[in-house]
Amino acid sequence: MPGPSTKRESCRAGGMGKKERAEERQQRREERLQEIARLRQIPYTDAQRWWSSETIAVVTGSNRGIGYEIARSLAAHGLTVILAARDPDKGDEAKKSLQDEGLEVVFHQLDVCDSASVEQFANWITVMYGGIDILVNNAGVNFNLGFENSVEFAEEVMATNYFGTRRMIETMIPLMKPSASGARIVNVSSRLGRLNGRRNRLGDVNLRNKLAVEESLSEEVIEATINKFLEQVKDGSWISGGWPQNFTDYSVSKLAVNAYTRLMAKKNSDRPEGHKIFINCFCPGWVKTAMTGWQGNISAEEAADTGVWVALQPTEPTTGNFFAERREISF
């Protein structure tokens, strides 16, 4: 409940300059990160630990960066992790480095853009484990750094970030194991794909509403949005098309991932007890990985935290939500 002090703060904020507001935001963020560092030290209790070494978690694109740290953390919590990577050499190396830490990790090749690779992966999972409990859709690409905003690789960005995620979800849902605690899907997304963010949002209010409202949201609407963007990329009209202004192709792809998360959560919301699947997404923040050219303000290990926290939600997991820094945020 906003009390008088909150009001006073917002009055103060109203009188603040840009620099002071940025400093205040930065301070709040640092305090939250410290709080999370403290929360990470608190071990899950036996009652909270619904998982065991028989619990199978797949993390896509986990040979490096945030995916690697998610795989590492899930394995450290005692789950069996399938480290999936498109390049067998990189995947094998990452697996070995985690195994050297004594973690239970198995590597399998997986290119989320390649239907044959995804099918082969699913067949292998079925034979080896009979199914999975957790899917973390982490594999992603972004070809811009800093203030760049090229759309040269827009098709690849959509193919990987949105269609790759969708292909994995469609393929893996039938393989999700029945369990009392429910299976979980976590999509690694970004605040850049927010529908109603203060900045970087879609200019077309009708399209924004269509994607926001449950009744009108569908795979067709999401795909039509992507196709419209890609057509405008081809004919050069995308700049004035009302798309997000920063990292435009990447932002559109993550906007699609967010919408798809909500859609799939809704579609799977009436599964019977014992067959539930909880589907959420999260933004890891601005992270020091290859994707950002090692810019960013947090490490991949810190960035992995919220994803792992969402995947391991102990009781009554939420579904269809968007998280950042262990808190729900708006789409």
Ligand X SMILES: NC(=O)c1ccc[n+]([C@@H]2O[C@H](COP(=O)([O-])OP(=O)(O)OC[C@H]3O[C@@H](n4cnc5c(N)ncnc54)[C@H](OP(=O)(O)O)[C@@H]3O)[C@@H](O)[C@H]2O)c1
| Residue 114 three-state SS | coil
Question: Whole-number minimum distance, CB 248 to ligand X, in Å?
Answer: 14
- The rounded distance, in Å, linking the Cα atoms of 144 and 292 is 8
Output 148 or 316, the one with its CB closest to ligand X: 148
Listed in sequence order, the residues at least 6 apart from 232 whose beta carbon sits closer than 8 Å to its beta carbon are: 238, 241, 243
Q: Which of residues 199-258 bind ligand X (CB under 6 A)?
A: none
86 binds ligand X (CB under 6 A): yes
Other beta carbons within 10 angstroms of residue 288's beta carbon come to 18
The first and second tokens of residue 331, run together, are 């789409």
What string of H, E and C letters represents the secondary structure of 225-291? HHHHHHHHHHHCCHHHCCCCCCCHHHHHHHHHHHHHHHHHHHHCCCCCCCCCEEEEEEECCCECCHH
250 a catalytic residue = yes
Output 85 or 151, the one with its CB closest to ligand X: 85
Among 55, 60, 248, 306, binds ligand X (CB under 6 A): 60
Q: H helices within the chain, ranges in order?
A: 4-14, 18-40, 65-76, 88-99, 115-129, 154-157, 165-172, 205-212, 219-235, 248-267, 300-311
Angle, nearest 10°, between helix axes 165-172 and 248-267? Answer: 20
Segment near ligand X (CB under 6 A); pick from 15-23, 201-209, 216-224, 291-299: 291-299
The first and second tokens of residue 74, run together, are 């899930």
Q: 68, 162, 250, 260: which one is catalytic?
A: 250
Question: Whole-number minimum distance, CB 188 to ligand X, in Å?
Answer: 4
Among 55, 73, 80, 138, binds ligand X (CB under 6 A): 138
Segment near ligand X (CB under 6 A); pick from 18-26, 96-104, 137-145, 258-266: 137-145
8-state DSSP, 124:
H
Output 277 or 283, the one with its CB closest to ligand X: 283
306 binds ligand X (CB under 6 A): no
Output 201 or 276, the one with its CB closest to ligand X: 201
Question: Whole-number minimum distance, CB 302 to ligand X, in Å?
Answer: 11
Output 182 or 193, the one with its CB closest to ligand X: 193
Among 292, 297, 301, 329, binds ligand X (CB under 6 A): 292
Active site members: 250
Chain contacts with ligand X (rule: CB under 6 A): 60-61, 63-67, 85-87, 90, 110-113, 138-142, 160, 164, 188, 190, 283-284, 286-287, 289-292, 296, 300
